[in-house]
Chains A and B, each alone.
Chain A
Amino acid sequence: ETGVTQSPTHLIKTRGQQVTLRCSSQSGHNTVSWYQQALGQGPQFIFQYYREEENGRGNFPPRFSGLQFPNYSSELNVNALELDDSALYLCASSLVRGGRGYTFGSGTRLTVV
């Protein structure tokens, strides 16, 4: 049984650019959630996808968008990058919708310069 894998592990982008982060969910998990973890802070909920539809969203602007594919993998897209978007982006998969039973990936460290 494989865990949650995220790619790339590190990324440097310039302010104003766009970025796509990828996540493969744990085998059998049909729900994917994305979190942003700023340095020294706890993770903040961005949104959750269930069966290819956005299932809930945190307090993030529309330039944060996502997709879930039929194999339950997911992408997080961020447009018009700002310096404050620099963070660790965590993907978590689960068997059920909601905030329980998460398995987190190791994250993508995004640096915006």
Chain B
Amino acid sequence: KNEVEQSPQNLTAQEGEFITINCSYSVGISALHWLQQHPGGGIVSLFMLSSGKKKHGRLIATINIQEKHSSLHITASHPRDSAVYICAVTYYGGSQGNLIFGKGTKLSVKP
């Protein structure tokens, strides 16, 4: 079964800390997505990547295709970064390329 594993499940940080959330997957993928779900419930796509690294503001996403692993980094974390971060992948040969989701990492940033 194709699976997406995230770690840690829960993460508490102090404001200003550097944060890393990890995602691993089991077979070849065509793309990996990082999503953010705020306490209000809405889900927003942060990144879609298939190789290398992408940066947007204080957020950086990296992927290592050989190791089947991706990381989401948040620099200079802020309480407004508190949210659930979700990793999702599209597998080669998957049913119509649908997304397979991890269970999410709940991040809480304390002031």
Real binding pair: no
Q: Which chain A residues have a beta carbon within 8 Å of chain B's beta carbons?
A: none
